[in-house]
Amino acid sequence: MKFLQQPPRFLFFTGKGGVGKTSIACATSITLAEAGNRVLLVSTDPASNVGQVFGVSIGNQITAIPAVARLSALEIDPQAAAQAYRERIVGPVRGLLPDTVVKSIEEQLSGACTTEIAAFDEFTELLTDTVLTQAFDHIVFDTAPTGHTIRLLQLPGAWSGFLEHGKGDASCLGPLAGLEKQRAQYKAAVDGLADPAKTRLVLVARAQRTTLQEAARTCGELASIGISRQYLVINGVFPIDAVAGDALAESIVTREQAALAAIPAALSALPTDQIALKPFNLVGLEALRQLFLQTGPATADPPAEPPSVQAPSLSALIGDIAAEGHGLVMLMGKGGVGKTTLAAAIAIELARRGLGGHLTTSDPAANLNDTLDGTLDHLTVSRIDPEQVTEQYRAQVLASKGDKLDAAGRALLEEDLRSPCTEEIAVFQAFARVIREAGKTFVVMDTAPTGHTLLLLDATGAYHRDVARQMGETGMHFTTPMMQLQDPKQTKVLIVTLAETTPVLEAADLQADLRRAGIEPWAWIINNSVAAAEVTSPLLAQRARNELREIDSVANQHASRYALVPLLKDEPIGLKRLQRLMDLQA
């Protein structure tokens, strides 16, 4: 593997959700450790599953992996980091200030922005604190899905710039003096990320047009912040010699080879490795050791006919949703499970039934227009663009509050609006507007990958608590976005997953998080199932058999209702193919 040749101390694996970053980061860590290096594997993903891959409880502390000598791991827990961050700020004034003031400070520090800043503090500490990491030769980062990763990597520059110019209210950042102490650490983090002698950035993609385009965008964004020395790994490529006359396998190979032939120019110049699709699940030490081999181990089971699966269809779920006449349909789940495609298919089907509606996304990496490749009467398509809504929010605040201020006051307000926390407020307001619209029509929302969505829900919950406290004092009736999300008559949350061990475990964790927020998922959708398709290839047949246990666990342990969507020969892009996806499920 090119990316493993003469590796520097820091290795980052990033890319669109679902492309296999965690598996590759884990396999890299094992390879380096078994070559005699002391390795620390770090996950910065709010939806981390490194512990699940190794079968070890890790958490927010450096933990040795018993089965691999010289390997340790750490999962940066955003919530635990945020709690510690809040306590550092609030602790010194607790007992000195009135309880009402302390409570107000704690509420201001309860939002998603504080959570991200706290996780970022731990991230930069690992990059810059030589005492903390001196026991390790290599530190391998399994980063979050692309949008979150870009945001995380840009934060060193963003906060440094904010500290350089900021003299006003630090909003939810806490006392500005506290951040001033981190200035040197942030600068060292930026310098370390941009130094190819210290850091190697590995883009992970699949042999698919959309994920390669996303990798190309990531490549450019990283280069713009000084990270120009990058590598590319294309994961899960179907072996041409494993087609074995299977029509589905042949169509997969044709699609993948066409995508590879048309690889974006930004990627074609990068040192590139390909990893073949394996017939086994990438969970457990032995499977991870086989990942970088050209051929996997022989399967334990002898060749057999692929399984036959009977499961509810997506069309049946749509019928139950349509019966409500209106409402918010939110698709949530790990990146790369097909939320965008399924959201588009559901919105199109509702429009075909004469129910119209609005299809929108809060995923920074999503492109609904590419998926639809056309327009449909009675269906509005939009995207909550963080940069756009933030600029609109700034303009709105300056036009209202700033209009009555003198020059000095307006300058102070403009300074405060440059705080990175402003984006959190702007995105939340756009999200709330979408929720209100669902009271009259159907709104189908393709959400960002899990961790980012949970941060948005955290902001929604903080707003709900603030309104409830204020309105409770007046006795007036009120409705908040969180109350609408918690009402199954108004909101139906569909958890999208794949019939694989890790995505199902992550979906179950997401469901638990939603339940803690008082939101009960309405249904699960298992997407791109090989077991639900017709296959003859031994490789696909083995993968289909691997799916049976996961399908059973969704049906009998996790979901109150579910649907199974097969892997299709033709990629469901464009109105006609999306409509055909629903027709096949009828």
Please write the tens of the pLDDT for every residue from 61-87: 899 999 999 999 998 877 777 788 778
Please write the tens of the pLDDT for every residue from 476-502: 555 667 777 888 888 999 999 999 887
Tell me, yes or no, if 21 is annotated catalytic.
Answer: yes
pLDDT (0 to 100) of residue 163:
54
Distance CA 117, CA 172 (A): 10
Tell me, yes or no, if 22 is annotated catalytic.
Answer: yes
The single residue of 14, 15, 17, 23 carrying the catalytic annotation is 23
Task: Give the lowest-confidence range in 84-93, 164-173, 331-340.
Answer: 164-173
Distance CA 317, CA 207 (A): 31
Contact 87, 97 (CB under 8 A): no
Per CATH, the number for 2-290 is 3.40.50.300
Task: Give the lowest-confidence range in 78-87, 359-368, 468-477.
Answer: 468-477
Please write the tens of the pLDDT for every residue from 379-399: 888 888 878 888 998 898 888
Nearest CA-CA partner of 50 in 138, 141, 114: 141
Distance CA 149, CA 14 (A): 7
Backbone phi, psi, residue 203, to 5° = -80, 130
Indicate if the pLDDT at residue 241 is higher than 70: yes
Tell me, yes or no, if 20 is annotated catalytic.
Answer: yes
pLDDT (0 to 100) of residue 459:
57
The single residue of 14, 29, 45, 371 carrying the catalytic annotation is 45
Distance CA 270, CA 266 (A): 8
Indicate if 314-387+438-584 has the same CATH topology as 2-290.
yes
Burial class (CB in 10 A: 0-12, 13-18, 19+), 444: buried
Please list, in sequence order, all residues whose beta carbon lies within 8 angstroms of the beta carbon of residue 575, skipping any fewer than 6 positions away: 348, 372, 373, 374, 376
Tell me, yes or no, if 187 is annotated catalytic.
Answer: no
Indicate if the pLDDT at residue 11 is higher than 70: yes
Please write the tens of the pLDDT for every residue from 119-146: 777 778 888 877 878 899 999 998 854 5
Confidence of residue 366 (pLDDT cuts 50, 70, 90): low
Q: DSSP secondary-structure letter at 241?
A: G
Tell me, yes or no, if 374 is annotated catalytic.
Answer: no
The single residue of 14, 15, 16, 20 carrying the catalytic annotation is 20
Q: Strand 230-237 vs strand 138-142: parallel, antiparallel, or unpaired?
A: unpaired
**Overall average pLDDT of the 250-269 stretch:** 96
Indicate if the pLDDT at residue 55 is higher than 50: yes
Q: Half-sphere exposure of residue 171, counting CA atoms within 13 Å on the CB side?
A: 22
pLDDT (0 to 100) of residue 473:
52
Q: DSSP secondary-structure letter at 17?
A: T
Buried b (16+ CB within 10 A) or exposed e, 303-339: eeebbebebbbbeebbeebbeeebbbbbbbbbbbbbb
Please list, in sequence order, all residues whose beta carbon lies within 8 angstroms of the beta carbon of residue 100, skipping any fewer than 6 positions away: none
- Say what the pTM is: 0.77
Residues paired with residue 494 on neighbouring β-strands, in sequence order? 331, 523
Please write the tens of the pLDDT for every residue from 279-298: 888 888 888 999 998 754 44
**Secondary element (H or E) of residue 523:** strand 523-529
Contact 426, 315 (CB under 8 A): no
pLDDT (0 to 100) of residue 184:
73
**Overall average pLDDT of the 458-483 stretch:** 58
Distance CA 262, CA 240 (A): 18
Tell me, yes or no, if 340 is annotated catalytic.
Answer: no
For residues 9 and 19, which has the higher predicted lDDT (pLDDT)? 9
Q: Strand 230-237 vs strand 199-206: parallel, antiparallel, or unpaired?
A: parallel
Domain range annotation of the chain: 2-290, 314-387+438-584
Confidence of residue 116 (pLDDT cuts 50, 70, 90): low
Please write the tens of the pLDDT for every residue from 312-327: 889 889 989 998 889 9
What is the crossing angle of helices 422-437 and 450-474, to 10°? 80
The CATH number fitting domain 314-387+438-584, selected from 3.40.50.300, 1.20.1740.10, 3.40.220.10, 3.50.50.60: 3.40.50.300
The single residue of 15, 17, 18, 338 carrying the catalytic annotation is 18
Confidence of residue 275 (pLDDT cuts 50, 70, 90): very high
